[in-house]
Homo-oligomer: A and B are copies of this chain.
Amino acid sequence: MVVANMVVTSLFVANMFVTLGAMTPSNERPSRRERPAKPALTRDGIIQAALAIARADGLEKVTMRRVAEQLDTGAASLYVYVRNTADLHAAMLDEILATVDLTPATAAGPWRQRLAAVLTSYSLVLFANPALAQSAMASRPSGPNYLSLIECLLTLLKAGGVPDDQAAWGVDLLMLYATGIAAEQGALSGRAEAHDEYHALVAALRGADTARYPEIARLADQLVSDGDRLAWGFQAVIAGIAATPR
C-alpha cells in the first residue's frame, strides 16, 4: 500500500467516514479496534479492485500481486476466488458488459439506427475500459450479459427483415467490428508509445512515395481524416449484411 492512487485514497476516505460514523452516539457497538477490519475478500471485490487498477493504469498492471496488494492481502489468497489471470480478465469483461445500453432494441425509430445505437453503446463501454477491449478480442465470452447483447442484435436484424442465415453470421461481423475498433482505440490510448506509432503511420501515409504508393499519396488526407467513422462503419457493415446473400 505504498503507491498512492485514487482508489486507495477513496477507500481511505470511505474508511474515515465509517470511523467517524462509529464515533457518533447513534452507534451502539463500536469496534474494539481503532481501524475498521478490512473488507472480507470476495470474488466481486477482487473484480472491482482489478477493474479500478485497469482503468487507472491499464490491463497489464492488473497482476495478481497488485490486486492482492490493493486488497491488503497476498496474491495466493486470490486463488480461492479466481482460477487464474485469464479467469480474472474474463470476469472483468463480463462485469462491464452489464453496463451496455440495450434499450434501443425496444425503442422507436428505424432499425438501423437502433442497431447502431446498441453497438455504439457496446463500443463506448469498451472505450471506457480500453484495456479490456483487447481481451474481449481474444477471449470467447459466454456470460449472460454477452448473450443478452447477441439476443438484442438478432432481434434488431430480424426487425429489419434480414434473412436468418445472414443475421446469424452477421452478428459475428458486427461484434468483430465493434470490438476491434475499441481494441484499436484501447491500444492507442493505453500505451505511451502508441501515439508515436500513430504519428509514424500518419507521417508514413503523408510522406508516401508518390511513385510507389500513388493511391496512398493521393488519398493521404482522406485516410487520416476525422469524422464519425464509427457511425459510418456500423452503417456500412449493417448494409453489407443486409445486402449479401449466402
Contact = CB atoms under 8 A, between A and B. Distances in A.
Given A177-B176, A240-B240, A134 B138 contact: yes
A151 B173 CA distance: 24
Nearest to A235: B244
Contacts of A179: 180
Contacts of A193: 86
Interface size range on A against B: 35 or more
Contacts of A88: none
Interface of A: 86, 134, 137-142, 147-148, 150-151, 154-155, 158, 164-165, 167-173, 176-177, 179-181, 183-184, 187-188, 191, 193-194, 197-198, 200-201, 203-205, 208, 212-216, 219, 222-223, 225, 227, 229, 232-233, 235-241, 243-244, 246
6 contacts: A140-B194, A147-B204, A150-B216, A172-B233, A176-B180, A240-B240
Contacts of A138: 134, 183-184, 187
Contacts of A243: 236, 239-240, 243
A172 B215 contact: no
A222 B203 CA distance: 44
Contact of A197 (B139, B191, B208): B139
